[in-house]
């Protein structure tokens, strides 16, 4: 989970590479580097630390001249973040230079082989193995593409590689397997990148490379090949979204911007799929007959996407009356799941490239289940590997902590619930219409939470709570799943230890951790269970906890009797309520992170796309 970018054209490459990397920092940000090819050969500049350090080192790229180059922003896997381990990496004789996103799984075996054949290594990375392997085959083949075709036969794992060779002063080669890579067509210039925002300033015409694809290009020509070196024809896709979607647009952080984009993201995801008062999922190839035969649904994902799956269990079981099991992708793949063609596996992923999720999806395909992916990134590996895909139209999500992707994933589950509930006859007309009506209005309800006044009062609560070290989130039913997400947000961006517990479960152990002034955040959005949750609140209050309660406006007076502070959200359809409840929790974590001086958009040790197992 690193970001790579490459440029060939008439302009100076380094500033373009640095600009591209600035749009890819969400993929990793512990070191950065560029290599530019000029008359004097390769000029490599790389350093540990944020991209800003590289910009300073190269005076924003102006100290490096040349019109062809590759760049990299790193999230360390093999070897600590250090200058030596930063990319780009050169081969032993300095003729080949590579940037790499992914993991070469058999790098140790290859390294031993290459050492035995006289190659030397200066870093702890797996990437240097790729550089030296290319050199090894280039010495035999005398042709870079032929060398790449042989090298990929030896490489196991995932890679998007940008490759330069001193014998090819006007061209670049890039290859891909299981890590994203796009090619961008310019006028008199061409690009490669891990993601569209890196090159959107320069071109909207792109090709998403498939696994095994190779691209060889100069400033004015491009050729695509498969892994065996056979020519391929590719048609460019036009990117329709605006650059502003990948910029902060006046907000101090991407996370705050993305929190505010949620109403629009929901509208964009929901509206096109509702026609004449019905949910229409034209993108699905699943027939009504197939859906009537589904006996079990798994929802497989990681992190926040998995927590959407936890909500999905309540939502789909209620609307479709089919057993639903949410399961972490990293567990699913090794659990020998019992699957067959009556099992629908729903895969959820913002990036569409999470390694565990992708592997679980492949396992489900192999075991004969039908797979349906809910994905945000168009053309991503997961979207391609699943039998069916429903895109969330959240737009690019840059902040490492997900907000709008989470919300849109949930909205797709509502669409599926309505669609399947209708086909299966498990929703009455009245239930269908009430839920659909609430779904259409959901973006407006969410906007009501994002007022200046609400933000200020959540900020005040965050200021008050900033010094708490251990926080408990408690809730019942749907709220218990919302708690998981609220707790993760606080952990990942504010570095505050927190636990999410089903409220009724506290007394079976964790209540012993509650002491004077322990912060408990109680989510009481399920109206039928409000009193039960309040009983649990009273139990923790009796042991000295400070309680922040979250509920719907109609329970204002009730909750104020029990908790120390309260957060209120509009009331909606019971199954849709989690969509609103999560929003104050996102904002709360944001402000706690801010007041604690954390880097909100780029939390330590994390990256946006987790392409390692």
User: Please, which residues have CB within 8 angstroms of residue 29's CB and are 6 or more apart in sequence?
Assistant: 50, 51, 73, 74, 75, 602, 607
Examine residue 392 and tell whether it contacts ligand F6R (CB under 6 A).
no
214 versus 301: smaller Cβ distance to ligand F6R: 301
Describe the crossing of helices 429-449 and 577-595 by its angle, rounded to 10 degrees: 20
Here the tokens at position 222 are 């491009």
Among 47, 77, 371, 402, binds ligand F6R (CB under 6 A): 402
In whole angstroms, how close is the CB of 382 to ligand F6R at the nearest point?
Answer: 8
Element (H, E) at 298: strand 296-301
Stretch that binds ligand F6R, among 300-308, 471-479, 526-534, 582-590 (CB under 6 A): 300-308
Among 351, 477, 518, 611, binds ligand F6R (CB under 6 A): 351
Examine residue 350 and tell whether it contacts ligand F6R (CB under 6 A).
yes
Among candidate residues 62, 134, 124, the one with its CA nearest the CA of residue 94 = 134
162 versus 303: smaller Cβ distance to ligand F6R: 303
Examine residue 396 and tell whether it contacts ligand F6R (CB under 6 A).
no
Strand bridging mode 519-524 / 546-552: parallel
Dihedral through CA 297, CA 303, CA 307, CA 313, nearest 10?
Answer: 10
15 versus 303: smaller Cβ distance to ligand F6R: 303
Q: Is 466 a catalytic residue?
A: no
Binding map of ligand F6R across residues 245-284, x = CB under 6 A, - = no contact = ----------------------------------------
Tokens 């139990």 appear where?
539
In whole angstroms, how close is the CB of 231 to ligand F6R at the nearest point?
Answer: 33
Q: Is 475 helix (H, G, I), strand (E, B) or coil?
A: strand
Among 47, 269, 357, 551, binds ligand F6R (CB under 6 A): 357
Tell which positions 464-493 bind ligand F6R, by CB under 6 A.
Answer: 488, 492
Q: What are the beta bridge partners of residue 192?
A: 6, 183
222 versus 413: smaller Cβ distance to ligand F6R: 413
219 versus 361: smaller Cβ distance to ligand F6R: 361
Q: Is 190 helix (H, G, I), strand (E, B) or coil?
A: strand
Q: Is the peptide bond before 53 cis (omega within 30 degrees of 0)?
A: no
Q: Is 2 a catalytic residue?
A: yes
Stretch that binds ligand F6R, among 203-211, 279-287, 296-304, 456-464 (CB under 6 A): 296-304
Examine residue 311 and tell whether it contacts ligand F6R (CB under 6 A).
no
Start-to-end CA distance of the chain, whole Å, equals 11
203 versus 304: smaller Cβ distance to ligand F6R: 304
Tell which positions 572-611 bind ligand F6R, by CB under 6 A.
Answer: 610
Among 2, 35, 55, 598, the one annotated catalytic: 2
Nearest-Å Rg of the Cα atoms of the chain is 25
Query: 569 in the Ramachandran plot: left (φ > 0), alpha (ψ -120 to 50) or beta?
Result: beta
114 versus 488: smaller Cβ distance to ligand F6R: 488
The residue whose Cβ lies closest to ligand F6R is 303
Among 257, 313, 489, 608, the one annotated catalytic: 608
In whole angstroms, how close is the CB of 304 to ligand F6R at the nearest point?
Answer: 3
Sequence-distant contacts of 531-536: CB under 8 A, at least 24 apart: 532/476, 532/503, 532/504, 533/474, 533/475, 533/476, 533/479, 533/503, 534/558, 534/559, 534/562, 536/474, 536/476, 536/503, 536/504, 536/506, 536/507
Tokens 């391609």 appear where?
384
Examine residue 401 and tell whether it contacts ligand F6R (CB under 6 A).
yes
Beta strands in 113-250 (DSSP E): 157-165, 172-177, 182-185, 190-193, 205-208, 214-217, 222-225, 231-232, 237-238
Query: 368 in the Ramachandran plot: left (φ > 0), alpha (ψ -120 to 50) or beta?
Result: left
In whole angstroms, how close is the CB of 605 to ligand F6R at the nearest point?
Answer: 13
In whole angstroms, how close is the CB of 439 to ligand F6R at the nearest point?
Answer: 22
In whole angstroms, how close is the CB of 210 to ligand F6R at the nearest point?
Answer: 19
In whole angstroms, how close is the CB of 361 to ligand F6R at the nearest point?
Answer: 11
Stretch that binds ligand F6R, among 29-37, 162-170, 344-352, 537-545 (CB under 6 A): 344-352
Examine residue 411 and tell whether it contacts ligand F6R (CB under 6 A).
no
Among 12, 91, 190, 349, binds ligand F6R (CB under 6 A): 349
Binding positions for ligand F6R, rule: CB under 6 A:
302-305, 349-351, 354, 357, 401-402, 488, 492, 610
Active site members: 2, 608
């Amino acid at each position: 989970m690193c970001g790579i970018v490459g440029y060939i054209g008439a302009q100076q490459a380094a500033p373009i590479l640095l600009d591209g990397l600035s749009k890819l920092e969400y993929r990793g940000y512990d070191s950065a580097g560029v290599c530019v090819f000029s008359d004097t050969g390769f000029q490599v500049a790389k350093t540990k630390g944020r991209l800003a350090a590289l910009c300073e080192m190269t005076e924003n790229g102006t100290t490096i001249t040349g019109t062809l180059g590759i760049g990299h922003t790193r999230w360390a896997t093999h070897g600590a973040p250090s200058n030596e381990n930063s990319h780009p990496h050169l081969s032993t004789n300095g003729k080949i230079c590579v940037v790499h996103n992914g993991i070469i799984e058999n790098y140790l075996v290859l390294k031993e082989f290459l050492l035995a054949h006289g190659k030397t290594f200066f870093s702890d990375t797996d990437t240097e193995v790729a550089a030296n392997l290319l050199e090894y085959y280039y010495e035999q083949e005398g042709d870079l593409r032929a060398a790449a075709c042989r090298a990929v036969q030896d490489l196991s794992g995932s890679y998007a590689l940008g490759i330069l060779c001193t014998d090819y002063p006007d061209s670049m080669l890039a290859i891909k397997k299981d890590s994203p890579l796009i090619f961008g067509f310019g006028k008199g210039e061409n690009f490669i990148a891990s993601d569209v925002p890196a090159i959107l300033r320069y071109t909207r015409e792109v090709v998403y490379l498939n696994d095994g694809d190779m691209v060889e290009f100069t400033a004015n020509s491009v050729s695509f090949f498969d892994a065996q070196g056979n020519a391929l024809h590719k048609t460019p896709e036009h990117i329709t979204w605006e650059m502003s979607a990948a910029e902060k647009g006046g907000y101090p952080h991407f996370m705050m911007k993305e929190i505010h984009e949620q109403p629009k993201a929901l509208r964009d995801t929901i509206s096109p799929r509702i026609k004449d008062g019905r949910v229409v999922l034209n993108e699905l190839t699943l027939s009504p007959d197939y859906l009537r035969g589904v006996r079990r649904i798994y929802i497989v994902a990681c992190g926040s996407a998995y927590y959407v799956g936890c909500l999905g269990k309540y939502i789909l079981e209620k609307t479709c009356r089919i057993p639903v099991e949410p399961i972490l992708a990293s567990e699913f793949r090794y659990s020998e799941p019992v699957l067959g063609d009556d099992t629908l596996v729903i895969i959820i992923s913002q990036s569409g490239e999470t390694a565990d999720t992708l592997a679980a999806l492949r396992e489900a395909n192999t075991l004969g289940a039908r797979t349906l992916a809910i994905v945000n990134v168009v053309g991503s590996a997961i979207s391609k590997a699943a039998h069916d895909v429903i895109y969330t139209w959240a737009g690019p999500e840059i902040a490492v902590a997900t907000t709008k992707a989470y919300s849109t994933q949930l909205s797709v589950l509502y669409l599926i619930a309505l669609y399947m509930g209708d086909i299966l006859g498990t929703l009455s007309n009245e239930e269908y219409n009430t839920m659909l009506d609430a779904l259409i209005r959901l973006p407006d309800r969410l906007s009501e939470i994002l007022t200046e006044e609400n933000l200020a009062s959540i900020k005040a609560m965050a200021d008050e709570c900033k010094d708490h070290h251990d926080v408990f989130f408690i809730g019942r039913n749907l709220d218990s799943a919302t708690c998981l997400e609220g707790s993760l947000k606080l952990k990942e961006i504010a570095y505050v230890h927190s636990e999410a517990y089903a409220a009724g479960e506290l007394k079976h152990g964790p209540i012993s951790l509650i002491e004077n002034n322990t912060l408990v955040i109680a989510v009481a959005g399920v109206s039928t269970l409000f009193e039960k949750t309040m009983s649990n609140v009273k139990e923790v209050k009796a042991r000295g906890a400070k309680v922040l309660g979250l509920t719907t406006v109609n329970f204002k007076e009730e909750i104020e009797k029990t908790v120390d502070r309260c957060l209120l959200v509009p009331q909606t359809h019971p199954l849709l309520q989690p969509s609103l409840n999560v929003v104050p929790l996102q904002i709360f974590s944001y402000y706690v992170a801010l007041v604690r001086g954390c880097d909100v958009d780029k939390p330590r040790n994390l990256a946006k796309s987790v392409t390692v197992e």
